[in-house]
Amino acid sequence: MDPIYVPHLLKARDRTRTFDIETVFPELETLTPVRGSVQVKHCTTYLEVQGKAEAIVTLTCDRCLQHYNHRLTVDAEELIWLEDPTEWGDEELLEREVSVEDLVENLAPDGHFEPRTWLYEQVCLALPQRQICDEACAGIPVDVQQETANPLRDRRWAALAKLKHQLAPEDA
Ligand SMILES: [Zn+2]
């Protein structure tokens, strides 16, 4: 998919263009392609971008390290300023009632917007922070017998044994 040259949006109907996207991102493991659409509207000083997408992504469980599938839905909206906010003075920032941190997304007025890249970022933002295959996931199985047979090989166990000795030295 070709990036859009931002001034071309001004000539589009309602200054809006919609892109249907069905793609596979090499950086993201998915069971199904990412399917969705991105709509971009030129609002003179900024672009209004809306996107929806769905995919089944393959994640790795934080507890048991097994791969599992997760249905991901993206429903995002973002404003992209068509100027370089770092060039704004303090007065201008006050007038706009925004801080520089809010303006991380910006593009030159004669720049290019890439719907596919934008969608990729939204998909990444929608990934769950905590990746657990199942709420009941017990994690990596631990060999309990081995733990009890050699309690001192673990430093935490060693500390506990020391404490026990301090509390009841006659047992030692
Ligand atoms: Zn798991």
147: confidence class by pLDDT, cuts 50, 70, 90: low
Model pLDDT, residue 54 = 97
What pLDDT score was predicted for residue 126?
94
75 Cα: distance to centroid of ligand 1 (angstroms): 27
Mean pLDDT of 52-64: 95
Kindly give the distance from the C-alpha atom of residue 133 to the centroid of ligand 1, in angstroms, as a whole number.
4
Dist. CA 15–CA 66, nearest whole Å:
46
pLDDT of residue 142: 73
Which range, 57-71, 77-91, 140-154, is most confident? 57-71
Q: Residue 61 C-alpha to ligand 1 middle, in angstroms?
A: 5
| Dist. CA 131 → ligand 1 center (Å) | 8
Q: What is the Å distance from ligand 1's center to 59 Cα?
A: 10
Q: Is the pLDDT of residue 151 over 60?
A: no
φ and ψ at 137, to 5 degrees? -60, 125
Q: What are residue 4's DSSP bridge partners?
A: 113
- Give the SS3 label for residue 88: coil
Q: Does residue 16 contact residue 49 with C-beta atoms inside 8 Å?
A: no
Contact 73, 64 (CB under 8 A): no
